Amino acid sequence: MNDTRNIIESLIFVSKEPLSMERLISLLPEIEPAIIRKELLGLIDEYEQKQGGFHLVQVAGGFQFRTRADYKTWIRRLNQASPLRLSRAALETLTIVAYKQPVIRSDIEHIRGVDSGGVIRSLLDLKLIRVLGRKDIPGRPLIYSTTRFFLEIFGLSDIKDLPTLKEMESLEKKQALQKDPAPAHDEKNLT
């Protein structure tokens, strides 16, 4: 097949979710997996060299076309849909699930110090977290983890791509310095 790259491009373009390498291989059994990988890498490189309005990225365990961040101002004008907004409680709970997964509700509530049932339900409704099963302890509580949709929303290829605690502390320090630079000392007032 001499138009393998075009076929792969078409499949990724029409897919509603990131298309994994495994899924591409299963959709194209007549093409050697090594050729699919080679053409996919060529396609990614082609879009990077072009530097157009969108590019091909690896996200949520698959590949997806995404608009370049440089053009978000104009894209927002077109798409007036409001972005996903999470309350502080939802963001705290989502962070705990993301970093501690698999996790049960009592562990989340122990860390947060408050009842989290309503927040967990809203995160389940938003499809940012999911139920993995039940823990084999008394009461058999539900076990939660993040979803592929979570990875898509946050632009992560894998949960391992989350920033570490040290990276987050470093970012917080940088942001604090940008917001409130240290005031200059007046030598006359030091005495």
pLDDT tens-digit series, residues 32-86: 999 999 999 999 999 999 988 888 988 888 999 988 888 888 887 787 656 678 8
Give the model's pLDDT for residue 168. Answer: 78
Give the model's pLDDT for residue 82. Answer: 65
Give the model's pLDDT for residue 45. Answer: 92
Give the model's pLDDT for residue 141. Answer: 94
Which fold would CATH assign to domain 88-167?
Arc Repressor Mutant, subunit A (1.10.10)
Which tokens is 53 given?
Answer: 């309005």
Regions in the chain scoring below 50 on pLDDT: 1, 184-191
Q: What is the pTM of this model?
A: 0.56
Give the model's pLDDT for residue 76. Answer: 77
Give the model's pLDDT for residue 190. Answer: 44
Cβ atoms within 10 Å of 93's Cβ, excluding its own: 28
The CATH code of the domain at 4-77 is 1.10.10.10
Q: Where are the domains of the chain?
A: 4-77, 88-167
Q: Give the whole-angstrom CA distance, residue 104 versus residue 173.
A: 31
- Tell me if 4-77 shares its fold with 88-167: yes
181 prior amide bond cis, ω within 30: no
Give the model's pLDDT for residue 181. Answer: 58
Question: Angle, to 10 degrees, between the axis of helix 105-112 and the axis of helix 88-100?
Answer: 120
